[in-house]
Amino acid sequence: MERGAALDAVFKPVRPPTTFEETVERLGTAIRLGLLLPGTKLPPERTLADELAISRSTLRQALTTLTQSGHLVSLRGRSGGTFVADEPPLAEAAASDATEPLSAEAWAVLDFRVAVETGAATLAAERSDREHLARLDELVKRMAKPEDFEDYRRADVRFHIGVAEAAASPRLVSAMTEVQGQMSDLIAQIPHPEQVLTRSNEQHAEIVKLMRLGDGAGCARLMREHIEGTEHILAGLLPRAV
């Protein structure tokens, strides 16, 4: 596969801690912009993992996500490998002049979410009680089987509102409800591979653990990583500017 400066940027090392999500964004965006054309064969797994400076397991998760979303196909045999799909979901966007799939309004929603969610997580770690934590544990269990996305998303929304409720702030609950409604409008426009949902729920579980320990700073930090992961997924899979 011949490369110019643009593709060199696609395959440069990925930064932790959101290596999985950023890999999905990098490859998804390259497909959306036509840098990786339909039928293009990706480098071998070992080579690609080395170039991105990520583990092969993380790479497999990202490739599986993009395969489930219809961006990539995996073929077996001597001439097999991982290829860009003939008609990826974002093919139409490749003809657009847009280089950024998220509009200013979408970024405004994401910024609002950062402020609300990290603040709620900090206070929830200080103020949550057994009842709050038990409800959040139940929602994490409900999201453990992501096959039914509609049920998963309802539980996901309820989880984040539950964090605000644990912060014991009616204004934060109101703000969280507003931002979750706005996020639902964005999330509805992208595919929902199980790999992404499973990774997201693993972070939910870790957030509850930190709340239980009363670690407000750690809880806010992990919530920010959780949100940043969503930002990468949206940037990589959103089909058009919104």
Whether 88 and 115 share a structural domain: no
Whether 127 and 61 share a structural domain: no
Whether 85 and 110 share a structural domain: no
Q: How many other C-beta atoms can be found within 10 angstroms of the C-beta atom of residue 108?
A: 12
Whether 166 and 193 share a structural domain: yes
The residues with which 74 forms a beta bridge, in sequence order, are: 82
The residues with which 226 forms a beta bridge, in sequence order, are: none
Of the three residues 95, 120, 145, the one that is the final residue of a domain is 95
CATH number, position 164? 1.20.120.530
DSSP H/E element including 153: helix 149-166
| pLDDT at residue 101, rounded to an integer | 62
Distance of CA 43 to the CA centre of its chain: 24
Rg of the chain (C-alpha set): 19
Whether 74 and 126 share a structural domain: no
Threshold 0.75, pTM exceeds: yes
Query: pLDDT tens digits for 10-43?
Result: 888 998 888 999 999 899 888 887 889 999 999 9
CATH number, position 22? 1.10.10.10
Domains identified in the chain, total number: 2
Q: Which domain holds residue 228?
A: 104-237
